Amino acid sequence: PLVSMNEFLPQAKEGKYAVGQFNMNNLEFAQAITEAAMELNSPIIFGVSEGALKYMGIEYTVALAEAAAKQSGLPIALHLDHGSSFEVAMKCIRAGFSSVMFDGSHHSFEDNIRLTKEVVRAAHAMGVSVEGELGTIGGTEDDISVDEKNASLAKPEEAIRFYEETKVDALAIAVGTAHGMYAGEPNIHFDIIEEVVKAIPASVVLHGGSGVPDEMIRKAVQAGVGKINVNTENQVAATQAIRDVLNADGKVYDPRKYLTPARKAMVEVVKSKIQLFGSVGKA
């Protein structure tokens, strides 16, 4: 069965490694992420954005995740990514999600606390873990777009108050990464990560993991990040593999002929991230 993130995030924080959230966008993503995790015996989180939820349908989404958990025997959490309302979070929990993110970062600090608290109260009553967000993460993911100029870093003292009032299980803090691939290199504020990791028992989450140089990810893990989200890098790898097949052969019509290489490319991306995050053998 699917498990809440509390089945593995506390151990990750304690052991100074991070568990990967890989976004699931269709069957091939679910299969690739699961295959990589099985090969390396790692816990994993399927992240599902509201856009992906609309694309796949909630029934298919839950069925795919449950099949992955059953087939692999691994601790897998099915997690709503950047949930925008109490209603969406509850809909997901009712359908079988084991974890939800409520992203109230575009609200005022006080409203973010109040709204996140409501989600935590309901989710915890059903054994579901909750991730909150502080500061605003730049870049684009599905229909959520934040101009880099308007992205703002999380403040450690706000993170402490946010945790104390909401009791979230995981907290995404804006520390300089952005959604999507980078034009240049991100400027990650490792000091903010360290300070928040020490100050609260919840796991600190790094969003926008795609395209961040390996060395910076290693430093973020050393600073104590316990969960790292990756989406775009899998999308890019899958699409490139499909493009290569179609460019090489104009007569292909069987989707399996290009989806198989796409899936393989994603297995490689996910395996390299799991190794980088340090969660090999932690299932």
> Is 142 among the residues known to form the active site?
no
Contact of 242 with 235, CB cutoff 8 Å = no
Pattern 59-98, ligand G3H, x by CB under 6 A = ----------------------xx----------------
Strands 144-146 and 138-141: antiparallel
Binding residue per annotation — 272? Answer: no
Beta-bridged to residue 132, according to DSSP, are 171
Q: Write the CA distances from 168 to 66, 123, 174, integer angstroms.
A: 24, 10, 16
Q: How far is the CB of 147 from ligand G3H (least distance, A)?
A: 16
SS3 37: helix
C-beta nearest to Zn ion: residue: 207
Binding residue per annotation — 231? Answer: yes
Q: How far is the CB of 73 from ligand G3H (least distance, A)?
A: 26
Binding residue per annotation — 169? Answer: no
Give the sign of the dihedral formed by CA 76, CA 18, CA 143, CA 121.
positive
Please give the structure tokens belonging to residue 70. 């059953």
Beta-bridged to residue 77, according to DSSP, are 45
**Residue 255 corresponds to which amino acid?**
P
**Segment near ligand G3H (CB under 6 A); pick from 53-61, 126-134, 194-202, 223-231:** 223-231
Question: Which one of Zn ion, ligand G3H, none is in contact with 117 (Cβ closer than 5 to 8 A by kind)?
Answer: none
Does the protein bind Zn ion through residue 79 (CB under 5 A)? Answer: no
Does the protein bind ligand G3H through residue 103 (CB under 6 A)? Answer: no
Nearer to ligand G3H, 34 or 232 (CB): 232
Nearer to Zn ion, 207 or 227 (CB): 207
SS3 100: strand
CB atoms near residue 211 (< 10 Å) = 18
Say which residue the tokens 């007569």 belong to. 251
DSSP 35: H
Does the protein bind Zn ion through residue 207 (CB under 5 A)? Answer: yes
Residues tagged active-site: 81
Residues near Zn ion, by CB under 5 A? 207
Residues near ligand G3H, by CB under 6 A? 23, 47, 81-82, 141, 179-180, 207-210, 229-233
Annotated binding site: 82, 103, 133, 179-180, 207-210, 229-232
